[in-house]
Amino acid sequence: MKVGKDRKSSVLPADETSMFCTQIALVLKSGISLADGTEAIYSSCENGPGKKYFEEISTAVTQTGSLYEAVKQVGIFPSYMVEMTGIGERAGKLDDVMEALGLYYEREHNIKKSIKNAVLYPSVLLMMLAIVIAVLVIGVLPIFSNVFESLGIQPDSSAGIMMQAAKITAVIALILITAFLVISGILTLLFRFGRKKEQLTQLFSRFPAIRHINRLIASARFASLMSMMLSSGYNLDEAMQLVPSVLPDNAARQKAVNCRNLMTDGISFPEAILRTGLFSPLYSQMIKVGFQTGQTDTVMQKLAAVYEEEVDDSISKTVSLLEPIMVAVLAIIVGIVLLSVMLPLVSIMSSIG
């Protein structure tokens, strides 16, 4: 297992958490003792600052016999994973819980990777746009300005005015793009290291496309969590007590709480899901069928996979809309600059000819 840099002040990434949970599940299902299994995982880690934490886990498991106490003590795992580990130990279903956690954090990693890829491509395209405009402003326009001066064109003439308009257009575009890139970089750092992620998420949720993607992510996480907990032996009431606290935003959490309250009032789980709008009517009907046949966990697992694909599709569509817009902006800016330079030059050359 590969372990990154020293993470005492941060949380292990979703992909590494998934790998650890999957390895523990394999250890438990193979009949190997937990102490021997954690020792084997520690031995397989690559050398690095993070390896000592897995040594701590192995030592703690050997001393206490509890994986929950070990992962809680080391302090590098997500709080939800730690709490679910404790619940799995108390219920005697640690192997099933760890397997489900492995799948859950694998989905989390895939969703985050899709979002990162979606943000990276437009950012690179914007940087290229800024470079092209900078070359025009710094390298191309001064050359034509010198040519116009050598031909005796005055700044207040039509040709001079068009040249100044081209410069102003290019400079304004360059400033706006640079400011956008700087702000995007600051927001990225705040999302990664800041303490106001919830406020930033609410701010960006004002945009329809992002709000739609957030809604899909919330539905995917809800389905994944419910599938994991139901397959680990929890009933619907117990699962609904725990799920709302780990959903990604206030809107999703409130819907889950409303669903739980409706169930407390005697409303069935499928009807509560439909009323709160956690899933679309079609998927709510699938949940109803699964509930009636005793296959709610299976239906939730399938819905988690379906929503994960929908998240990928929505992100891809959003990026595909941004690409032609940015290309069109680049073409318009470059076209304005070139026309502002070439038209007067062609007119002058024609008069000279």
Query: Which of the four pLDDT bands, split at 50, 70 and 90, describes residue 195?
Result: low
In one letter, which amino acid is 270? P
Does position 353 have pLDDT exceeding 60, yes or no?
A: no
Measure the CA–CA gap between 155 and 324, rounded to whole angstroms: 36
Does position 5 have pLDDT exceeding 50, yes or no?
A: no
Lowest pLDDT segment from 16-20, 37-41, 202-206, 318-322? 202-206
Q: How many CA atoms lie within 13 A of 22 on its CB side?
A: 12
pLDDT tens digits, residue range 272-327?
999 998 898 999 999 999 999 989 989 998 998 898 888 878 877 877 777 777 77
Mean pLDDT of 138-154: 75
CA neighbor of 24 nearest in space, from 11, 42, 10? 42
- Residues with Cβ < 8 Å from 275, sequence gap 6 or more? 258, 259, 262, 267
Measure the CA–CA gap between 129 and 65, rounded to whole angstroms: 58
Domains and CATH numbers, the chain: 14-77 (no CATH), 106-353 (1.20.81.30)
Mean pLDDT of 49-73: 84
Does position 271 have pLDDT exceeding 90, yes or no?
A: yes
Measure the CA–CA gap between 142 and 209, rounded to whole angstroms: 41
Mean pLDDT of 241-246: 80
The whole model's pTM is what? 0.65
Query: Which of the four pLDDT bands, split at 50, 70 and 90, describes residue 204?
Result: low
| 224, 104 Cβ separation under 8 angstroms | yes
Q: How many CA atoms lie within 13 A of 319 on its CB side?
A: 18
Tokens 């960006």 belong to 204
Mean pLDDT of 170-182: 81
DSSP string, 136-199: IIIIIHHHHHHHHHHTT--TTSHHHHHHHHHHHHHHHHHHHHHHHHHHHHHHHHHHHH-S-HHH
Mean pLDDT of 254-276: 92
The better pLDDT of the pair 146, 68 is held by 68
In terms of C-beta density within 10 A (0-12 exposed, 13-18 middle, 19 or more buried), how is residue 44 classed? exposed
Spell out the alpha helix ranges (H) of the chain. 14-29, 34-44, 51-64, 67-74, 79-91, 94-135, 141-150, 158-193, 197-204, 208-231, 236-242, 250-264, 269-276, 281-292, 296-352
